[in-house]
Amino acid sequence: MKLTRNILVLFLLSLLLDVASAQTSTNPPTISGGLQEIYDAATSSTNSLVEVHALYAPALSKKTGGGIGYFWLINQYAYTGVRLDYVNGGFWMPSGNAALQLPLHPLSKLTFMPTWLSGVKVTPFAYGGIGIPVSGAVVGDVTIPGSVHDNNG
């Protein structure tokens, strides 16, 4: 019962917190240098989206987590971005991600179909990324919070 409630709460939170809103501009921002320019490009970009997500890992002891991502729409067929995931009460992992998609209108050529049905859009996609766990890592004088759990023992 508690597990079902946790999954339901995570699902509802991810729906409520989802702020994804891709824009239609086809000119991605350019960054020529400096933290201020990066900040300005990220906050004024018309080709970006932010997403909040829930994670569920049944093999881990605490089983739940979440994360946030920032993505840039390159064109209507591709986007790329970064994510930060937190799971199992102490596991952090940043990652870089990319996706390809192809919007299709499979019923548009069938003239006998009602307009609302012939306008149905299906978008198959491929999503991939690479990440590195950083929990408990030491970078110079900074120790990243969290701990690495042995999931095999």
SS3 of 96-146: the string is EEEEEECCECCCCCCCCCCHHHHCCCECCEEEEEEECCCCCCEECCEECCC
Stretches where the chain sits below pLDDT 50 are 15-23, 29, 31-32, 153
Predicted pLDDT at 39: 67
Using CA atoms, how far apart are residues 128 and 96, in angstroms rounded to an integer? 9
Predicted pLDDT at 74: 84
**15 SS3 class:** helix
Q: Is 35 exposed, middle or buried (0-12, 13-18, 19+ CB in 10 A)?
A: exposed
DSSP per-residue string spanning 36-55? HHHHHHHHH-SSEEEEEEEE
**63 SS3 class:** coil
Tokens of 34: 């400096």
Check if the beta carbon of residue 77 is closer than 8 Å to that of residue 102.
yes
Using CA atoms, how far apart are residues 50 and 132, in angstroms rounded to an integer? 21
pTM value > 0.85: no
Predicted pLDDT at 47: 79
Check if the beta carbon of residue 5 is closer than 8 Å to that of residue 56.
no
For tokens 């240098």, the residue is 33
